[in-house]
Structure 1
Amino acid sequence: MNPPTGHLSFPESFSWGAASSATQSQGATPADNWWAWERAGKAPSSGDGNAFEARYADDFALLAEWGFSDYRMSLDWARLEPEPGRHDAQAVEQYRAMLSAGRDAGLTMWVCLLHTALPQWFAGQGGFLSPQADETWARHVGFVAETFADLADGWMPINNPTAYAQKAYLTGTFPPGHASQEEFLTALRAVHRADFEAALILRETGRPTSTNEALLTLHPTDDSSETAGIAALIDSVVWDSWLNLARTPRYENAFDLYGFSYYFSPAINAAGDLLPHPADAPVGPQGYAAWAPGLGEVLDRLHKELPGKRFLVAEIGYGGDDDDARSAYLRDAITQVHNAIGSGIDVRGIHLWTAIDNYEWLDGHNVAFGLFDGHRAPRPSARIIRELMRA
């Protein structure tokens, strides 16, 4: 039986964080490829995100007051380098001010270098499929390390590399909108390699590094060989695509923490369809069932795949208007982490998606993930999290 909320306890050093991204909290910029995607009618307008750019100092003070210790934000590459080789001094100062404000509020600031949107000029070259991509990316990572290392408490180079490659090159729902298995596999390898290479550069700053892989476990709908085969293929994409790098001598120490995002663990049939699991679970507005035990499954597998390593639940949240369901899900998910620690798995923290309602890509502003609404009013789920953090 899972213990009641009030009976959960965590190590004193356990981090309680919140996460956001530049495009989702600031809105797209004309210099990035998401701006053009919106204007082509392929995504709702992001506007000013959730007005974070104007309200960041108050937002950080609010989160610190409620008991959060950590915050992860992304620095928009397109804002920093709107044209190849030209860095925008105003954008640099803006992000330095944001990071300083977070630290002044008492938050440990994690910096993500890439969260979905690319500079239009880099996308025009082919993005991570470009022959010059490795050199271009390394130059950007070096610039960020040199410019922001004094204000970054930790680094998370690329957000959800597998999900990025899948949406951009397999399903075509994100720019450039391609649907090619060959391009997807090429991009998958390239983006994961870029993530690990960035970590090697960023570790030289003396700050810790963490992955943020989008992880799940699969539940076959039957025991046929066809279903087993397709499940093994998708599992290989989700897990082996980065684990194989993590086990190589070059990269085995690139990351101090193996962080991950968890939202669902689907069922899968012989056609390769990902279906809600459990079958009778409520399905949210984004088409999946939020199922807390899957988080425990992911942690168990990570512990077996990477024994002796440290882990971070780098992103977990609940999308929808039912805040009672959000509260219940987050309680259950955090209990999974508590139980994992009790079984000997070294989990260093939980970062929630997200603190304040923001832009949710193809869903626009229509799916609420925040513990606080866009006006910064706390939902009951925020009080549940505060209770857990205090415990």
Structure 2
Amino acid sequence: MSGDGAGAIGRRALIQAAAGVAAAPALLANASAATQRKPAPKGFLWGAAISAHQSEGNNTNSDAWLAENIRPTLFKERSGDACDSYHRYDEDFALAETFGFNCYRLGIEWARIEPSEGHFSNAELDHYARVLTACRKRGLAPVVTLSHFTVPLWFARRGGFEASDAPQLFARYCRTVAERLGGLMHLVTTFNEANIGLLVALFPQSEAGAALQREAQAALVAATGAPKFSRLAFADPAVTTPIMQQAHRLAYEAIKAARPELPVGITLTTQDIQSVGAPSLVADYERRLYGDWVDVARSHADFFGVQCYTRLRFDEHGMVAPPQGAELTLSGYEFYPQALADTIRWAHRTIGKPIYVTESGVAVADDARRIAFIDRALDGVRKCLDEGISVHSYIYWSLLDNFEWTSGYAVPFGLAAVDRQSFRRTPRPSAFHFAAIARANLI
């Protein structure tokens, strides 16, 4: 990592980024004619997000690393070095600073901090202290996630969030992090998309897909000798959900005990639920997606993180495919940025806490469609603000093309592309466009 944080970004790319920001009036003028931007509320956070496992690389002590490397596997490829953000974090912050962002969402990796049960690594805690300090020095408020789908290998081997004492173990980790690092954080969330298991259960699965999942699970059990080996997204949500809810409650209390002034929130996957035909099935499927997490967010969160990518449609038989002719993204989702406003409204009327958009993004080959997605999503945020809803951020997923779990590196969400060999970060035109909006502070 170079001293000025620009080594793998490239001077030319930074000059282009600066030029793009300087061209803010032209970029804003080229936005949709329907767009009527206005100043964002005081303290509004503009930024991009990343997660630890997806960007750092070589997270060898996690459940995900093992799941990627066994055979058979659900993963199309291994995470490997990822974006090497474990070493190049300041280059990422430099890019975000150049874009005029004032916050950055990132992850703390539990598998590094507690590599074996009850042993906390001072070296890794020091590493993340350097990361958060560097983030702040770039003028970026750190928005930190403590568990972004991955857990330590030892935790997965003993049953993960299917084990009855998992809440106490998770809260101990969160308390340790809060005591050592909480003073460097701006906001913190416990889980990323805590209801991910409930979302996975809504998707139809083929017999071949179910068989591969069973074979991959059997391979994990055989590799570890742990019959209760549990990975969050593929465990039974009927078992994991109440345990994770208690884990969040205990973690919230532990963090507040260590850092009373630190805002602690929770994020859920909040896709726009729509019903096809009558009678409406929206309320039923919202219950299936969110369950009791609504009550947990009401009682044990200072703020709520909305993470929305598309809409999901249902009829009496289950999930319905996107309409014929609908534009699909490289993730297979329908291109539907207007979903964000609907989920913000849902969170406002259902949970009633300050709302932060902690993830909103799109994977596309044509970067012009990313620009269109950002513009339309922001149009929705502005309309929600006009309605009196308390929205405090727009954080795009993601800053970089990174490891997208079972899809590998084939789905580019990034404002910047990443060369898989040199790790050079190359900003896309959409980055300059979003930078102009953030610099102007216009929503």
Shared fold per TM-score greater than 0.5: yes
Q: Does the alignment pair 1:75 with 2:80?
A: no
Show the counterpart of 2:21. Answer: none
More divergent stretch after superposition (188-197 vs 264-273): 188-197
Q: Does the alignment pair 1:200 with 2:253?
A: yes
Gaps of 5+ in 1: none
Q: Does the alignment pair 1:362 with 2:406?
A: yes
Deviation at 1:113, TM superposition (A): 0.7
More divergent stretch after superposition (26-35 vs 43-52): 26-35
Deviations 1:89-115 (A, max 9, x none): 322222111111101111101221100
Q: Does the alignment pair 1:313 with 2:343?
A: no
Matches within 5 A, 1:150-169: 150-164=183-197, 166-167=199-200
SS in 2 for 1:373: strand
> Given the two structures, how large is their TM-score scaled by the length of structure 1?
0.90
Gaps of 5+ in 2: 1-31, 218-229, 419-423
Show the counterpart of 2:293. Answer: 242
C-alpha separation in 1, matches of 2:50 and 2:171: 24
Show the counterpart of 1:115. Answer: 148
Asked whether the equivalents of residues 155 and 202 of structure 1 are also in contact (C-alpha less than 8 Å), the reply is: no
Show the counterpart of 1:271. Answer: 317
Asked whether the equivalents of residues 8 and 388 of structure 1 are also in contact (C-alpha less than 8 Å), the reply is: no
Show the counterpart of 2:333. Answer: 288
Deviations 1:58-98 (A, max 9, x none): 21122112111111111111111111011223222221111
> Given the two structures, how large is their TM-score scaled by the length of structure 2?
0.80
Show the counterpart of 1:85. Answer: 118
Show the counterpart of 2:428. Answer: 379
C-alpha separation in 2, matches of 1:12 and 1:132: 42
C-alpha separation in 2, matches of 1:298 and 1:385: 22
Show the counterpart of 1:301. Answer: 346
Deviation at 1:386, TM superposition (A): 1.2
Asked whether the equivalents of residues 17 and 69 of structure 1 are also in contact (C-alpha less than 8 Å), the reply is: yes
Q: Does the alignment pair 1:209 with 2:264?
A: yes
C-alpha separation in 2, matches of 1:136 and 1:221: 43
Of structures 1 and 2, the one with the larger relative CO (CA 8 A, separation 6+) is 2
User: Out of 67, 75, 80, which is 1:37 matched to?
Assistant: 67
RMSD: 2.4
C-alpha separation in 2, matches of 1:381 and 1:9: 21
Report the AA paired with residue 267 of structure 2: N
Report the AA paired with residue 287 of structure 1: G
User: Out of 330, 343, 357, which is 2:387 matched to?
Assistant: 343
C-alpha separation in 1, matches of 2:164 and 2:247: 13
Q: Is the radius of gyration larger for structure 1 or structure 2?
A: 2
User: Out of 65, 72, 81, which is 1:48 matched to?
Assistant: 81
SS in 1 for 2:144: strand
C-alpha separation in 1, matches of 2:234 and 2:105: 32
C-alpha separation in 2, matches of 1:47 and 1:213: 27
C-alpha separation in 2, matches of 1:18 and 1:348: 14
C-alpha separation in 1, matches of 2:37 and 2:155: 50
C-alpha separation in 1, matches of 2:286 and 2:149: 22
Deviation at 1:387, TM superposition (A): 1.7
Asked whether the equivalents of residues 28 and 34 of structure 1 are also in contact (C-alpha less than 8 Å), the reply is: no
C-alpha separation in 2, matches of 1:207 and 1:257: 11
C-alpha separation in 2, matches of 1:10 and 1:300: 18
C-alpha separation in 2, matches of 1:38 and 1:130: 23
How many corresponding residue pairs?
Answer: 378
Deviations 1:294-313 (A, max 9, x none): 11111222222234x31111
SS in 1 for 2:358: strand
Asked whether the equivalents of residues 6 and 388 of structure 1 are also in contact (C-alpha less than 8 Å), the reply is: no
More divergent stretch after superposition (363-372 vs 213-222): 213-222
Deviations 1:103-149 (A, max 9, x none): 11111012211001111111111111112212211211111111111
